[in-house]
Amino acid sequence: MTDIAQIEAAAARIAGHIRHTPLLNAPLLDRIAGRRIFVKAESLQLTGSFKARGGWSAVSALSPEARARGVIAFSSGNHAQGVAYAAARHASPCVILMPSDAPQVKIDNTRSYGAEVVLYDRATEDRDAIGARLSDARGLTLIRPYDDVQVIAGQGTVGLELAGQAREAGIDEAEVLVCCGGGGLSSGIALALRAHAPGLKVRTAEPQGFDDMARSLATGARQRNSAVSGSICDAILTPTPGELTFPILSRLAGPGLAISDEEALRAVALAFTHLRIVLEPGGAAGLAAALFAPDLPDTVIAVATGGNVDPKIFATALSRFA
Amino acid sequence: MTDIAQIEAAAARIAGHIRHTPLLNAPLLDRIAGRRIFVKAESLQLTGSFKARGGWSAVSALSPEARARGVIAFSSGNHAQGVAYAAARHASPCVILMPSDAPQVKIDNTRSYGAEVVLYDRATEDRDAIGARLSDARGLTLIRPYDDVQVIAGQGTVGLELAGQAREAGIDEAEVLVCCGGGGLSSGIALALRAHAPGLKVRTAEPQGFDDMARSLATGARQRNSAVSGSICDAILTPTPGELTFPILSRLAGPGLAISDEEALRAVALAFTHLRIVLEPGGAAGLAAALFAPDLPDTVIAVATGGNVDPKIFATALSRFA
C-alpha cells in the first residue's frame, strides 16, 4: 500500500526530471463559475499528462538489473507515452502493447519516445497472453497504469506540489477535483494532501455513465461500468476502480462527481479562452465539475490531467463553445 | 532610461501578483526543429500576455495621488487588458481608449477587468486629442505600451525569471528569440540578461513586411514599416521602434529575424500539439523563428508572448498544420 513516505521518495527521484506544473487561475473564469477556480495544469507536464510522473517513479524504483532488462505496458494513451519517456531517459528497453486499431499518431508518438510498439488484434488476440509471453522471454517488468504502488506514489507528487502551491496562494480549505479513471492520480493526491494540506479534500470527476468510482464510493464496494466506450473522455474510461486505489479513496475522498460530454467540451473551450491551455476532454473533467457541478465550496482546485487531444475534437469544442 | 535596478525594483513590486511563468520544452518538438527549443510561456501570464507585467510595474510606480486619479491607455489588445487588470488590482480608475471597430470580445474583456472603455471613430476622430482631453479633465496618467521606463522595467522581469530558469536547466549560451512590436519586452529582457545571464543573447522576431526593428538594427537608425496592417500577427504590428527601446536593443541585441504568416500559424499548431499551450500568431513569432529560421545555434529560447487568439484563427492553424 502506497504511503506518504513512498510519495516523498518518488518526489526525490523525479526532481529535476519531471516538470513542476503551474497552478493557474483567471479572474474572468472565476466570474463565469461564480467561485474561485484554480487549475493545476498537468497538461503542461512532459508527454502532456501526469502519467510521466508515475512512469518515472516506477522505472526509477526498479533494481538496476530489472531496469536493464526493460519494462512493458499495455496502453494506447497517456500511460504509454509516460512510461516510454521515462524508460528512454533511464536507458531501459520499453515495449508498449497497443491494439492495432489505435490512432496512428499515438503509435508514432510512442515510438518517437523510443519505445518498441507491439500491435495486437483486439478481436482475435489476447493482450495479456502476448504481454506475458514477451515479459517471460525478455524478463520485462509490467508497469500497470494505476494498480501499482510506485505508480500511485509518482502520481501523488502532484499532491505534494499542490499542497505547497495552495499554501502560497493562501488556500487553506478547498475541494480538489481530479479527473478519475482507475484512481491512481486521485488516490496519490489524496494521500499527499492528507499529510501536507489536510484542509484540501479530493473528489473524483468522471464521465456520466462511467462513474464507477463515484458509485463505488457511495456504496462502499467496487462497482463496474456497464460499457467500456462511448464517452468523449476516452482517457479516463476504465471498467472499475483499482484494487489498490479504491481503499485509499474510500478512506480519504469526498463523494464522486460526474460530468457530461458537453460539459467536458465547454471546459475545454473555457480553458482555451481564459487559461490558454490545451486540454483533452478527459483531462478537463475536473475543470468541468469545478464549473458546472452543484453545491461546491467557494474555492475549488481542478487538476487538469492531460492535453493530448485530437485537433478535430478540439476544433469542435471551439466552434461550439468558444 | 531603464536600467537593471529599475527592473529589479519592478520585480519586487510585482512579486506575488504576477505569475512566474514556466519554461517549457518537448523532446518531439526538438526533433522537428533539429535543435533544443525552450519556450518561456508568457501566454500563461495573467490576462494572457506579458503586458500584465508592464501594466503592473507602471501603475505600482505611480504616486498614491496619481494612482487615485487614474490611468489611461490607448489599445485594443493585450496592453489594454494588462493595464486594466493592474489598475483594478490597485483600485486605480482606468480608461482604455479603443477604436469603435475593435472586436467586441476585446471590448468586453477589457470592461470585465474593470476598465472604462471609451470608443472613438478611427476615420473621423483624433485618438490623441481625445486622450489628452480625458487626461486633462481627470488627471489621468498615460501608460504607453512600450516607450515608458517603468513599462520596460516590468517587461524586463521576464528576463530575470529566464536567467534563473536557464541556469537551472544548465543553459549557459543560447539565443533568446522575442516577438517584437515596439520593443518594450525585447529591450527589457536584453537588459536583464546582460546583467544576469550574459551568455543569453536577445534577437527580435517580427512578421515579414513589418520588420522595422530588424531593419533599424541593421542600419543603425529607426526605420518605419510601409504598412500598418496586413499580417496575421496583429499583436506585434507597430509603425517603428520605440525611442527608448531602440537604443537599448541597438546596443544589446543580435540581428533581427522575420517570419512569414504561414510560419507563425505552423508554430501555433506545433505549440498546440507538443507544448499544449494556446498562442496567438503574434505571440508565436519567436517560436516560429526558433523552428524555421536559418543559422541558429543548437539551443534557442523562444518567448511566447501571448495567447489571446480568435478561435477561428486558431482552428485554421489546426486544420492546416496540426
Chain B's closest residue to A30, CA to CA, is B112
Q: Compare CB distances from A319 to B43, B85, B315 and report the shortest one's residue.
A: B315
Q: Does B28 touch chain A (CB under 8 A)?
A: yes
State the average pLDDT over residues A59-67: 98
Chain A's closest residue to B110, CA to CA, is A28
CA distance B89 to chain A (A): 11
Whether the per-residue pLDDT at A79 is higher than 90: the answer is yes
Helix (H) / strand (E) element for A207: namely: strand A200-207
Dihedral pair phi/psi, residue B4, rounded to 5°:
-65, -30
The pLDDT value given to residue B123: 87
**Pick from A64-73, A258-267, B234-243, B280-289: least confident:** B234-243
Helices (H), chain B: 4-14, 27-33, 51-61, 64-69, 78-89, 104-112, 127-138, 149-168, 184-196, 212-219, 245-252, 261-270, 285-292, 311-321
Residue range(s) of every CATH 3.40.50.1100 domain in chain A: 4-50+148-321, 52-142
Q: What is the pLDDT of residues B192-233, one digit of tens each?
A: 999 999 999 999 999 999 999 999 999 999 999 998 889 999
CA distance A43 to chain B (A): 7
Count the helices and strands in chain A (H runs, E runs).
Answer: 14, 10
Q: What distance in Å separates the CA atoms of residue B121 and residue B101, rounded to the nearest whole number?
A: 8
State the average pLDDT over residues B160-181: 98
Q: What distance in Å separates the CA atoms of residue A40 and residue A303, rounded to the nearest whole number?
A: 5
| Residues 232-291, chain B, touching A (beta carbon < 8 A) | 269, 272-273, 275-279
Quickly list DSSP for B36-75: EEEEEEGGGSGGGBTHHHHHHHHHHHS-HHHHHH-EEEE-
Chain A's closest residue to B278, CA to CA, is A276
Whether the per-residue pLDDT at B13 is higher than 90: the answer is yes
The pLDDT value given to residue B205: 98
Whether the per-residue pLDDT at B15 is higher than 90: the answer is yes
Q: Does A78 touch chain B (CB under 8 A)?
A: no
Q: Does B43 touch chain A (CB under 8 A)?
A: yes
State the average pLDDT over residues A287-297: 97
Q: Does B85 touch chain A (CB under 8 A)?
A: yes
pLDDT-derived band at A238, boundaries 50, 70, 90: very high
Query: Which of A18, A43, A265, A276 should be substituted to probe chain B, the one whose Cβ sees the most B Cβ atoms within 10 Å?
Result: A276
The pLDDT value given to residue B103: 81
Q: What distance in Å separates the CA atoms of residue B295 and residue B292, rounded to the nearest whole number?
A: 10
Q: Do A314 and B273 touch (CB under 8 A)?
A: no
Helices (H), B210-296: 212-219, 245-252, 261-270, 285-292
Q: What is the pLDDT of residues B173-189, one digit of tens each?
A: 999 999 999 999 999 99
CA distance B282 to chain A (A): 15
Instruction: Scan for cell 476504465, then name that residue.
Output: A238
User: How many Cα atoms occupy the beta-carbon half-sphere of A114 within 13 Å?
Assistant: 18
Q: Does A103 touch chain B (CB under 8 A)?
A: no
Q: What percent of chain A has pLDDT over 90?
A: 92
Q: Do A24 and B44 touch (CB under 8 A)?
A: yes
Q: Is A144 exposed, middle or buried (0-12, 13-18, 19+ CB in 10 A)?
A: buried
CA distance between the termini of chain B: 43
Q: Which amino acid is located at A232 in the chain?
A: I
Whether the per-residue pLDDT at A42 is higher than 90: the answer is yes
Q: What is the pLDDT of residues A84-105, one digit of tens each?
A: 999 999 999 999 999 998 888 8
The pLDDT value given to residue A93: 98
State the average pLDDT over residues A133-156: 97
The pLDDT value given to residue A262: 98
User: How many Cα atoms occupy the beta-carbon half-sphere of A239 within 13 Å?
Assistant: 1
Whether the per-residue pLDDT at A228 is higher than 90: the answer is no
CB A231 within 8 A of CB A262: no
Contacts of A116 (CB under 8 A, 6+ apart): A93, A94, A95, A96
Contacts of B31 (CB under 8 A, 6+ apart): A112
Instruction: Scan for cell 533599424, then name that residue.
Output: B216
The count of residues in chain B is 322
Question: Three cell numbers at A42?
Answer: 498537468
Q: Compare CB distances from B276 to A85, A113, A307 and report the shortest one's residue.
A: A307
For residue B272, which residues of chain A lie inside 8 Å, CB to CB?
278, 311, 314
For residue A38, which residues of chain B lie inside 8 Å, CB to CB?
none
pLDDT-derived band at B319, boundaries 50, 70, 90: very high
Q: For chains A and B, count residue pairs whose Cβ atoms are closer than 8 Å.
A: 80
Chain B's closest residue to A168, CA to CA, is B16
Instruction: Tell which CATH classification among 3.30.420.40, 3.40.980.20, 3.40.50.10310, 3.40.50.1100 matches the domain B4-50+148-321.
Output: 3.40.50.1100
Q: What distance in Å separates the CA atoms of residue A47 and residue B28, rounded to the nearest whole number?
A: 9
Q: What distance in Å separates the CA atoms of residue B109 and residue B106, rounded to the nearest whole number?
A: 5
pLDDT-derived band at A206, boundaries 50, 70, 90: very high
CA distance A190 to chain B (A): 25
Q: Do A22 and B44 touch (CB under 8 A)?
A: yes
pLDDT-derived band at A29, boundaries 50, 70, 90: very high
* Pair type for strands B200-207 and B257-259: parallel
Contacts of A48 (CB under 8 A, 6+ apart): A78, A81, A306, A307, A308, B276
Chain B's closest residue to A19, CA to CA, is B24
CB A184 within 8 A of CB A151: yes
Question: Three cell numbers at B61?
Answer: 510606480
| CA A168 to the chain's CA centroid | 24
Chain A's closest residue to B49, CA to CA, is A276
Report CA-CA distances (Å) from A70 to A84, A88, A94, A163, B147: 11, 10, 6, 34, 58
Q: Compare CB distances from B22 to A22, A272, A275 and report the shortest one's residue.
A: A22
Q: Does B17 touch chain A (CB under 8 A)?
A: no
Closest to A216 measured CA to CA, from A180, A270, A164 = A180
The pLDDT value given to residue A134: 94
The pLDDT value given to residue B148: 97
Q: What distance in Å separates the CA atoms of residue B60 and residue A216, rounded to the nearest whole number?
A: 52
In the three-class reduction of DSSP (H, G, I as helix; E, B as strand; rest coil), residue A236 is classed as: helix
For residue A21, which residues of chain B lie inside 8 Å, CB to CB?
22
State the average pLDDT over residues A209-227: 96
Q: Does B318 touch chain A (CB under 8 A)?
A: yes
Q: Compare CB distances from A43 to B21, B276, B311 and report the shortest one's residue.
A: B276
- The mean predicted confidence, pLDDT, of chain B is 96
Query: Which of B113, B276, B280 should be substituted to probe chain A, the one whose Cβ sees the most A Cβ atoms within 10 Å?
Result: B276
- Structure ipTM: 0.97
The pLDDT value given to residue B122: 85
Q: Does A313 touch chain B (CB under 8 A)?
A: no
Q: Do B311 and A272 touch (CB under 8 A)?
A: yes
pLDDT-derived band at B257, boundaries 50, 70, 90: very high
Gyration radius of chain B's alpha carbons: 18
Question: Three cell numbers at B170?
Answer: 544548465
For residue A269, which residues of chain B lie inside 8 Å, CB to CB?
311
pLDDT-derived band at A119, boundaries 50, 70, 90: very high
The pLDDT value given to residue A229: 87
User: What is B52-142's CATH number?
Assistant: 3.40.50.1100
Q: Do A112 and B22 touch (CB under 8 A)?
A: no
Q: What is the pLDDT of residues B67-94, one digit of tens each?
A: 999 999 999 899 999 999 999 999 999 9
* Pair type for strands B23-24 and B36-41: antiparallel
The pLDDT value given to residue A105: 81
DSSP B302: E
Chain A's closest residue to B112, CA to CA, is A28
Q: Compare CB distances from B318 to A46, A314, A322 and report the shortest one's residue.
A: A314
